[in-house]
Chain A
Amino acid sequence: AQSVAQPEDQVNVAEGNPLTVKCTYSVSGNPYLFWYVQYPNRGLQFLLKYITGDNLVKGSYGFEAEFNKSQTSFHLKKPSALVSDSALYFCAVRDSAAGNKLTFGGGTRVLVKP
């Protein structure tokens, strides 16, 4: 069965510093990986996805993520965090061998302090 783990419940970072949100996954087929962000009282917004090709994926709002097959990871990164990046971030995976079911991690809350 496919699964996703986000090992950190919360990440605190100072504005202007690099931001990393960790995600590891487990699938039996090929992974299709997604990052979503949720602002307070809002639905999830798509940030980026990895399907195939370059391991470094660039997405919205200056975010990028690196797919690492050997470590089964897909960490989200931003070189310089903004206060407005404070939100709840979800990693999700779809297993190519398991139809179109999307499995979400538990979420990581990011707090960027001025």
Chain B
Amino acid sequence: NAGVTQTPKFRVLKTGQSMTLLCAQDMNHEYMYWYRQDPGMGLRLIHYSVGEGTTAKGEVPDGYNVSRLKKQNFLLGLESAAPSQTSVYFCASSLLRGDQETQYFGPGTRLLVL
């Protein structure tokens, strides 16, 4: 099992450009999540999905959109990138709905918006 993978690993964008981050998991997990990590702020939830075809807003959803067309993939889109979106983005997945479930994380995507 590859677990949770993310592409790309690193990207530089100019303000106003758009891009899509791809997350894939091969563990047949129902739940998937997108977080951003900023120094001193831990991880903050952007959007999440409780199953194929469903998405929901997290703590900091503005400026991002997501789609879960296939169970194994969760895409994060930036329609018009801003410097404030410079961050490290992590995808995670968990097996079932439940307060007890452990989330498994991908290696991250480092995004720099100039």
Contacts and interface: CB of A to CB of B under 8 A. Distances in A.
A29 to B, nearest CB: 9
Dominant SS at the B interface? loop
Interface in B1-39: 4, 31, 33, 35
B97 A100 contact: yes
Contacts of A104: 35, 42-44
Contacts, number: 56
A24 to B, nearest CB: 14
Interface stretch (B60-68, B69-77, B79-87, B99-107): B99-107
Interface in B87-114: 90, 92, 97-108
B107 A107 contact: no
Contacts of A9: 40
Given A43-B90, A100-B98, A107 B40 contact: yes
B100 A51 contact: yes
Nearest to A36: B105
A41 B9 CA distance: 10
B90 A44 contact: yes
Interface residues of B, number: 28
B58 A101 contact: yes
Contacts of B92: 44
A32 B102 CA distance: 10
Contact of B105 (A4, A41, A44, A94): A44
B107 to A, nearest CB: 5
B99 A32 contact: yes
Contact of A43 (B4, B33, B44): B4
Contact of B42 (A51, A94, A105): A105
Interface in A4-35: 4, 9, 32, 34
5 contacts: A4-B42, A43-B90, A51-B99, A51-B100, A106-B42
Interface of A: 4, 9, 32, 34, 36, 41-46, 49, 51, 90, 94-96, 100-102, 104-107
Given A102-B103, A106-B40, 8 more contacts: A41-B108, A43-B4, A44-B90, A46-B102, A100-B50, A100-B99, A104-B44, A107-B40
